[in-house]
Chains A and B, each alone.
Chain A
């Protein structure tokens, strides 16, 4: 651990500062969207389709309107009058707000009931009568491109199939050549299934349009309030919602994980209802709606291949992917990256060449493609490469840790240029893996495994050495709907030396109110406790693209440091004035300037702040504040090595995680306590898809597990006691050397777990099991191999 540079009182970087935001949550005084009550507020509930694909023949609202308290029923036809029945997606596709003729997935919004309270609204949706004509749904993405598959997007002129886009990265010919020449080629089909972020708070909003002022305020569960404001203005400008009249407030958010990036139809309907009725309209989805209709994550069907020399040197990588996007491409990626950062798939290894291609298709499933706590499809890429390295190790009869060591990008090769075009900023992969191996006692475990195997017992050890790519992103490459992916900080120092700092990001539990304060404290020497952090109100915070993809520290965190440094530059001028010396004669230590060689001649940041309002030099602007919009020069590349040990019950197939060691490197650490907490949480959200979670559909497109009774979030009992540690390789281009951490463990844990379970069965010839690896799946293999007598 690196010693903090500031005192405990200042509590800059490196201190385990207790969170400033805790008190309100612990007292039950957090303000989540559903906690907000406005005078005259109405409630909205949504009628949803029971079919995955159907024509709407009629919608009868009569009985619903007879229910006491029901005021209105909104249908696609209502919205069509305002041209609001369709909206654009972040990926330049189109999505229905409410349908006028066809529903495209089960649980799609069909109509909305507005009522005076939630109970009347709930009764109202039961009374709306919709007549459907069901059609044969396209559910299997592998069949979506068949000649006889119905074309789903008949709304798109000239569309003759269900293909959305083809994307590729790397050098096809060069890679193919290496494959032709290779000693060894391994190939595996790997599916990373459709899952759901399932934050414990569902999504919702209160749309509050005031006819008298024409101002719309939307209290919204969003990770990106500023972008949403612009989207609202772009989509609904024609009905009078000009951007200065739109205020988006993202209050306390009960977990986001990517699921609160999209703009859902429910938000738009609530806004339309409020504008039409002139009263605040609240819409809070329930858990079933959340799981069944909100954006999914993953759903990549991949075929991975590695070409290697006999000695284990990995030469080339090829991955071909089929992406199931549901009925529209509503993924949340930077605009130029339809497959997100998937091309990071060469991972932590030196490949001479690589090529990856992907085709996206429409099916009758909910749209989405959000990240589930990862940076734009990195999880899929890491799962593919980390599984493939194990497949190769198995083919070669090599130890998977040793094979990784042999092929790692070495510390002296950074900045490293990958065959798919990324410039890795910094890393020390062998150190992280070695640390994990030492911590878990790798060699001893391998001995134990050999002994157990001889006795017929099943034990596996799984290794994963992942490289993340986060912090989108540099403006030359990264934008969302044209808006560059910078982020911002605005800091104002009050006369008494206290401060308020505002950001374009939005915490959903990450602890921004604490970590940002610590960054500013580090730079200015003002105690972090005296720095109030605010986010989420577009009327007060500077513009930014929001919090997802582990981008807050890489972008807004950098902006905080940069804005604070601007303030320090001005403070130096004021200090020179106060101490009657020239600026060059001053030295800085956290909290004060002093005259070089005369440390007793000094002035504190608090004195300087007071002077900025009471005694500033003539000719200088009064006040002490700064804004910075940070455009990162590169992405950051956190990494880590995880090792998992599992024991498998031969009769029931139950895999039990005995130990899990996680070594993370996220560059310089702002708050070790918060980083550790992020890692515990991320690991658990890696465990979840590895062993429990998957959205399952039947052949008609009906969801089979749309509640928490069957969509299985791990509890404290299933979750192992995580063992964590870290190495520190600072980011060379970030002002404070930090990289971002929240998502690394979600990315790294699934392959570590999958590799451990496959390792336990590798002597039986098992090379892959698709996640989630359930006891049932393991048992089927044990049965097939004749291992179990159950």
Chain B
């Protein structure tokens, strides 16, 4: 079979489509679902611009087939905010100037989301290793580290008050 019907739950909404089996997940998200926040920066799974969450795990969607996401939960950058209200990670990037051209940003944020999920209070060193699969050409990473630290603090405060 060179095509297959798949149902992928993207940011909580199920999408059922007949797709080519070789369709890359990143193209499914961008071209078929018109959610273009997830970017493509390389072809060799080095840059991380295409990072999304697949069943909660950060993965590089340029190196996964759409058919592999059948029946699974996908979270993209479009699913992070609550309306216009930033997620704490997005807020961190804004407050700490963690983005410039914005192209690597969605992938960085999605990676940070899983990083903070697993390690709510990371050190600078842990953050740097944690985002080592994401390339940024503009910021020199320093403010991205600060942005993730900002989010960590905000999320732990929110968790305490909740």
Interface, chain A (partner B; CB < 8 A) = 18-19, 21-32, 34-35, 37, 118-119, 197-202, 252-257, 286-288, 508-511, 673-674, 676-678, 680-685, 707-709, 713, 715-717, 719, 721-722
> Are A713's CB and B27's CB within 8 A?
no
> Are A716's CB and B141's CB within 8 A?
yes
Residues of B within 8 A of A680 (CB): 139-143
Residues of A within 8 A of B81 (CB): 26-27
Residues of B within 8 A of A722 (CB): 140, 142
Q: Kindly state the separation between the CA atoms of A618 and B145 in the bound complex, as whole angstroms.
A: 58
Residues of B within 8 A of A26 (CB): 77, 81, 86, 90, 93-94, 99, 102, 105, 109
Chain B 56-96 against A: per-residue CB contact (8 Å), 1 yes, 0 no?
00000000000000000000111011001010001001110
Residues of A within 8 A of B20 (CB): 119
Q: Tell me whether B16 is interfacial, beta carbon within 8 Å.
A: no
A-B contact count (CB 8 A): 185
Residues of B within 8 A of A677 (CB): 97, 100, 138-139, 143
Q: Tell me whether B135 is interfacial, beta carbon within 8 Å.
A: yes
> Are A255's CB and B137's CB within 8 A?
yes
CB<8 Å pairs between A and B, sample of 18: A18-B97, A22-B99, A22-B102, A27-B80, A28-B38, A119-B22, A199-B101, A200-B41, A200-B136, A201-B41, A255-B100, A677-B97, A685-B140, A707-B42, A708-B135, A709-B46, A715-B134, A719-B141
Q: Tell me whether B36 is interfacial, beta carbon within 8 Å.
A: yes
Q: Kindly state the separation between the CA atoms of A29 and B23 in the bound complex, as whole angstroms.
A: 23
> Are B94's CB and A37's CB within 8 A?
no
Task: Select one of B42, B76, B94, B142 contacting A287, CB under 8 A.
Answer: B42
Chain A minimum-CB-distance residue to B37: A28
Residues of B within 8 A of A682 (CB): 140
CB distance from B147 to the nearest CB of A (A): 10
Task: Select one of A37, A118, A681, A721 contacting B138, CB under 8 A.
Answer: A681
Q: Kindly state the separation between the CA atoms of A288 and B39 in the bound complex, as whole angstroms.
A: 16
Chain B minimum-CB-distance residue to A284: B40
Task: Select one of A28, A32, A200, A685 contacting B78, CB under 8 A.
Answer: A28
> Are B142's CB and A201's CB within 8 A?
no
| Residues of B in contact, count (CB < 8 Å) | 60
Q: Kindly state the separation between the CA atoms of A683 and B138 in the bound complex, as whole angstroms.
A: 10
Chain B 34-56 against A: per-residue CB contact (8 Å), 1 yes, 0 no?
11111111111011010000000
> A27-B77, A680-B142 given as contacts; is B105 within 8 A of A715 (CB)?
no
Chain B 111-144 against A: per-residue CB contact (8 Å), 1 yes, 0 no?
0000000000000100111011111111111111
Residues of A within 8 A of B43 (CB): 286-288, 707
Q: Kindly state the separation between the CA atoms of A678 and B38 in the bound complex, as whole angstroms.
A: 24
CB distance from B36 to the nearest CB of A (A): 4
> Are B102's CB and A684's CB within 8 A?
no
Chain B minimum-CB-distance residue to A510: B100
Residues of A within 8 A of B97 (CB): 18-19, 673-674, 676-677
Q: Kindly state the separation between the CA atoms of A200 and B109 in the bound complex, as whole angstroms.
A: 16
Q: Tell me whether B104 is interfacial, beta carbon within 8 Å.
A: yes
Q: Kindly state the separation between the CA atoms of A677 and B98 in the bound complex, as whole angstroms.
A: 8
Q: Kindly state the separation between the CA atoms of A451 and B133 in the bound complex, as whole angstroms.
A: 39
> Are A28's CB and B101's CB within 8 A?
no
Task: Select one of B106, B129, B142 contacting A721, CB under 8 A.
Answer: B142
Q: Kindly state the separation between the CA atoms of A721 and B109 in the bound complex, as whole angstroms.
A: 20
Q: Tell me whether B103 is interfacial, beta carbon within 8 Å.
A: yes
CB distance from B22 to the nearest CB of A (A): 7
Residues of A within 8 A of B76 (CB): 28
> Are A22's CB and B103's CB within 8 A?
no
Extra contacts, 6 of them, besides A32-B39, A201-B41, A680-B143 (Cβ < 8 A), are A27-B81, A707-B46, A708-B135, A713-B135, A716-B127, A716-B136
Residues of A within 8 A of B137 (CB): 197-200, 255, 257, 681, 685, 713
Task: Select one of A21, A255, A684, A708 contacting B103, CB under 8 A.
Answer: A255
Chain A minimum-CB-distance residue to B40: A34
Residues of B within 8 A of A708 (CB): 42, 44, 46-47, 135
Chain A minimum-CB-distance residue to B131: A716
> Are B102's CB and A252's CB within 8 A?
yes
Q: Kindly state the separation between the CA atoms of A25 and B76 in the bound complex, as whole angstroms.
A: 13
Interface, chain B (partner A; CB < 8 A) = 20, 22-23, 27, 30-31, 34-44, 46-47, 49, 76-78, 80-81, 84, 86, 90, 93-95, 97, 99-106, 109, 124, 127-129, 131-145
CB distance from B80 to the nearest CB of A (A): 8
Q: 4 closest Cβ contacts across the A-B interface?
A: A28-B37, A509-B101, A25-B102, A254-B103
Chain B minimum-CB-distance residue to A687: B140
Q: Kindly state the separation between the CA atoms of A201 and B99 in the bound complex, as whole angstroms.
A: 14
Residues of A within 8 A of B41 (CB): 200-202, 254, 287
Q: Kindly state the separation between the CA atoms of A453 and B116 in the bound complex, as whole angstroms.
A: 43
Residues of B within 8 A of A37 (CB): 31, 34
Chain A minimum-CB-distance residue to B108: A716
Interface centre among A29, A685, A722 (most CB of B within 10 A): A29
Chain B minimum-CB-distance residue to A671: B97
CB distance from B1 to the nearest CB of A (A): 16
> Are A716's CB and B99's CB within 8 A?
no
Chain B minimum-CB-distance residue to A677: B97
CB distance from A318 to the nearest CB of B (A): 35
Interface centre among B38, B77, B137, B144 (most CB of A within 10 A): B137
> Are A508's CB and B101's CB within 8 A?
yes
> Are B129's CB and A28's CB within 8 A?
no
> A27-B77, A28-B78, A677-B100 given as contacts; is B105 within 8 A of A717 (CB)?
no
> Are B95's CB and A18's CB within 8 A?
yes
Chain A minimum-CB-distance residue to B41: A200
> Are A681's CB and B77's CB within 8 A?
no
Chain B minimum-CB-distance residue to A680: B140
Residues of A within 8 A of B31 (CB): 37, 118
> A27-B77, A681-B100, A685-B137 given as contacts; is B39 within 8 A of A254 (CB)?
yes
Chain A minimum-CB-distance residue to B128: A716
CB distance from B119 to the nearest CB of A (A): 15
Residues of B within 8 A of A22 (CB): 93-94, 99, 102
CB distance from A300 to the nearest CB of B (A): 22
CB distance from B2 to the nearest CB of A (A): 11
> Are A35's CB and B36's CB within 8 A?
yes
Task: Select one of B47, B102, B129, B142 contacting A717, CB under 8 A.
Answer: B129
> A27-B90, A28-B77, A707-B44 given as contacts; is B101 within 8 A of A254 (CB)?
yes
> Are B102's CB and A254's CB within 8 A?
yes
Residues of A within 8 A of B132 (CB): 715-717
Residues of B within 8 A of A511 (CB): 100
Chain B minimum-CB-distance residue to A35: B36
Task: Select one of A19, A200, A252 contacting B49, CB under 8 A.
Answer: A200
Task: Select one of B102, B134, B143 contacting A30, CB under 8 A.
Answer: B102
CB distance from B14 to the nearest CB of A (A): 20
Residues of B within 8 A of A255 (CB): 100-101, 103, 137-138
Interface centre among A31, A37, A256, A677 (most CB of B within 10 A): A677
Residues of A within 8 A of B102 (CB): 21-22, 24-26, 30, 252, 254, 509
Residues of B within 8 A of A23 (CB): 84, 94
Residues of A within 8 A of B84 (CB): 23
Q: Kindly state the separation between the CA atoms of A677 and B93 in the bound complex, as whole angstroms.
A: 12
Task: Select one of B37, B103, B134 contacting A27, CB under 8 A.
Answer: B37
Residues of B within 8 A of A28 (CB): 35-38, 76-78, 80, 106
Interface centre among B35, B102, B142 (most CB of A within 10 A): B102
Q: Kindly state the separation between the CA atoms of A524 and B76 in the bound complex, as whole angstroms.
A: 41
Q: Kindly state the separation between the CA atoms of A709 and B137 in the bound complex, as whole angstroms.
A: 16
CB distance from B20 to the nearest CB of A (A): 7
Q: Kindly state the separation between the CA atoms of A510 and B99 in the bound complex, as whole angstroms.
A: 10
Interface centre among A25, A708, A716, A722 (most CB of B within 10 A): A716
Q: Kindly state the separation between the CA atoms of A681 and B84 in the bound complex, as whole angstroms.
A: 28
Q: Kindly state the separation between the CA atoms of A511 and B42 in the bound complex, as whole angstroms.
A: 25
Chain B minimum-CB-distance residue to A29: B37
Chain A minimum-CB-distance residue to B27: A118
Q: Kindly state the separation between the CA atoms of A37 and B27 in the bound complex, as whole angstroms.
A: 13
CB distance from A407 to the nearest CB of B (A): 31
